[in-house]
Chains A and B, each alone.
Chain A
Amino acid sequence: MLNTDKAAHLEACPECDLLIDASEQVREGYVSQCPRCLGVLEHPLRLSIKHNFICVLTGLVFYFPAIFLPILKFTMLGNTEAMSIVGCVLALFATTNYGIAGIVFFTLVLVPLVKMMLIIFVTTRLYYSVKTPFLAVSFRWYNSLSHWGMLDIFLLGVLVAAIKLANDAELEPGLGLYAFIILLLSSALQTQLLNKKLLWKLIERHGQ
């Protein structure tokens, strides 16, 4: 065992469990990697809590138009049909495809919203350093939900579907598509540049 003041700087690489002396290996403002498995330990490109909050707020503003407004408009033989994400889920439900409807609802509607709510709860409490219960639980849930958000894949799906339909009839992008792209960008930015290490440290100090 090592003595205590050295132990304060110790860290384990989450990917390969190498014990690392953070005062030697991790330098502020540089990309630091685990010397053994080259997993990234610290990246200088991170958003501050405030900027992160702004990012999530942008996402939240554009979330409802992205979900409810039509993403594509499809005209065939004089009939026009508009498709929004919620409409998509409802159409799947109406055709008794409950499984697929559930997956689409979960990955495109539920997960993004819950993720934004949780991160807003955590960042505002930490920013004003209010002692609050459930901070650690919320952030843990946020982390495990982030695997299941699939906004980016849905956008590629819109592209593929549009190309499949392009021969048969006229297609038009709807307002929802633009809102969706903004939602996607803000959520990708926020998720990729979230300073998880800092948040965990603050939670340790303020949370319960």
Chain B
Amino acid sequence: MGNRPLSALQQGYLCCRSCHKLIPKAGQVMRCPRCRRKVYPRVPYSLAQSWALLLSGFFLYIPANVLPIMTLYKGGTIRTDTIMSGIINLMHIGMTPIAIIVFIASILVPLLKMLALAMILLAVQCKRQCNVCLRTKMYRVVEFVGRWSMLDIFVISILVGIVKFGRVASVDVEPAAWLFACVVILTMLAAMRFDSRLIWDEINEYE
């Protein structure tokens, strides 16, 4: 091996995506001898599928934030909350740290995650070669942090499960909760579908 870093693919090896076994390339369609899964040089249509999932997530994100996610009936009063008004309400009752956590998990993280993933996908599509390390780090953060946006969905389901006193107090789920869950799932799938090795592919060619 020379001093120049080169990808396994360019030296005639494929790496199985599920068990990371290195396989010498032979023929068009191969199966991994260890886990019996089809091995591709890169995940097929990774970029296109990631874009599709990401964009559909983004379009659902807007109604998910504008429409109400839950309604609380309490002693004759009705209170309908969107994600943001729930956070403001938490701040009003003096729970600013928790409000900040919920704000980060349900508004900041999905938005920044979609932006970061879009930047990574654009950079791969335009074959950019600077800041590759930074993009890999961003991808790792996006993958790690994605699940935490489910927080609001769990809070709502706990409230539904515990506040059921008929006419005295009860909680209803509004459609935006389901939209928000879809946003989280779609963006998680978009991050999973993306093949992080694509970030580095252009680097090999010119170094």
Asked if residues B1 and A21 are in contact (CB atoms below 8 Å), the reply is yes
Interfacial chain B residues near A137, Cβ < 8 Å: 35-36
Interfacial chain A residues near B105, Cβ < 8 Å: 156
Please measure, in the bound complex, the distance between the C-alpha atom of A133 and the C-alpha atom of B14, giving whole angstroms.
25
Does any Cβ of B come within 8 Å of A37's Cβ? yes
Asked if residues B161 and A200 are in contact (CB atoms below 8 Å), the reply is no
Binary B-proximity of A168-182 (CB < 8 A = 1, otherwise 0): 100000000000000
Residue among B6, B19, B101, B153 with the highest chain A CB neighbour number at 10 A: B19
Within 8 A of A (CB), among B1-30: 1, 5-9, 11-13, 15, 17-22, 24
Binary A-proximity of B50-70 (CB < 8 A = 1, otherwise 0): 000000000000000000000
Interfacial chain A residues near B185, Cβ < 8 Å: 103
Please measure, in the bound complex, the distance between the C-alpha atom of A200 and the C-alpha atom of B32, giving whole angstroms.
12
Asked if residues A1 and B12 are in contact (CB atoms below 8 Å), the reply is yes
**Residue total for A at the interface (Cβ-Cβ under 8 A):** 65
Asked if residues B160 and A97 are in contact (CB atoms below 8 Å), the reply is yes
Interfacial chain A residues near B22, Cβ < 8 Å: 10-12
Interfacial chain B residues near A159, Cβ < 8 Å: 98
Interfacial chain B residues near A89, Cβ < 8 Å: 157
Nearest-neighbour CB distance to chain B for A134, whole angstroms, equals 10
Asked if residues A19 and B6 are in contact (CB atoms below 8 Å), the reply is yes
Does any Cβ of A come within 8 Å of B45's Cβ? no
Please measure, in the bound complex, the distance between the C-alpha atom of A72 and the C-alpha atom of B11, giving whole angstroms.
58
Nearest-neighbour CB distance to chain B for A58, whole angstroms, equals 23
Does any Cβ of A come within 8 Å of B73's Cβ? no
**B-side interface size class:** 35 or more
Does any Cβ of A come within 8 Å of B116's Cβ? no
Binary A-proximity of B63-81 (CB < 8 A = 1, otherwise 0): 0000000000010000000
Interfacial chain B residues near A83, Cβ < 8 Å: 158, 161-162
Count of A-B contacts with CB under 8 A? 190
Binary B-proximity of A118-149 (CB < 8 A = 1, otherwise 0): 00000000000000000011011001100100
Please measure, in the bound complex, the distance between the C-alpha atom of A136 and the C-alpha atom of B140, giving whole angstroms.
26
Binary B-proximity of A78-106 (CB < 8 A = 1, otherwise 0): 01011110011101100101011101100
Nearest-neighbour CB distance to chain A for B37, whole angstroms, equals 7
Closest A residue, CB atoms, query B199: A16
Asked if residues A14 and B20 are in contact (CB atoms below 8 Å), the reply is yes
Does any Cβ of B come within 8 Å of A110's Cβ? no
Asked if residues B150 and A150 are in contact (CB atoms below 8 Å), the reply is yes
- Which residue of A36, A81, A84, A100 is within 8 Å of B173 (Cβ)? A100
Nearest-neighbour CB distance to chain B for A9, whole angstroms, equals 10
Asked if residues B196 and A15 are in contact (CB atoms below 8 Å), the reply is yes
Interfacial chain A residues near B155, Cβ < 8 Å: 157, 160-161, 164
Asked if residues B200 and A17 are in contact (CB atoms below 8 Å), the reply is yes
Does any Cβ of B come within 8 Å of A163's Cβ? yes
Nearest-neighbour CB distance to chain B for A116, whole angstroms, equals 19
Does any Cβ of A come within 8 Å of B90's Cβ? yes
Asked if residues A37 and B136 are in contact (CB atoms below 8 Å), the reply is yes
Given A77-B168, A107-B150 in contact, is the A167-B34 Cβ separation under 8 Å? Answer: no
Please measure, in the bound complex, the distance between the C-alpha atom of A35 and the C-alpha atom of B133, giving whole angstroms.
11
Asked if residues A19 and B21 are in contact (CB atoms below 8 Å), the reply is no
Does any Cβ of A come within 8 Å of B188's Cβ? yes
Please measure, in the bound complex, the distance between the C-alpha atom of A72 and the C-alpha atom of B105, giving whole angstroms.
23
Interfacial chain A residues near B132, Cβ < 8 Å: 37
Within 8 A of A (CB), among B171-196: 172-173, 177-178, 181, 185, 188, 192, 196
14 contacts between A and B (CB under 8 A): A1-B12, A7-B24, A10-B22, A16-B197, A21-B1, A37-B200, A81-B163, A83-B158, A91-B164, A92-B161, A139-B35, A160-B102, A168-B169, A200-B34
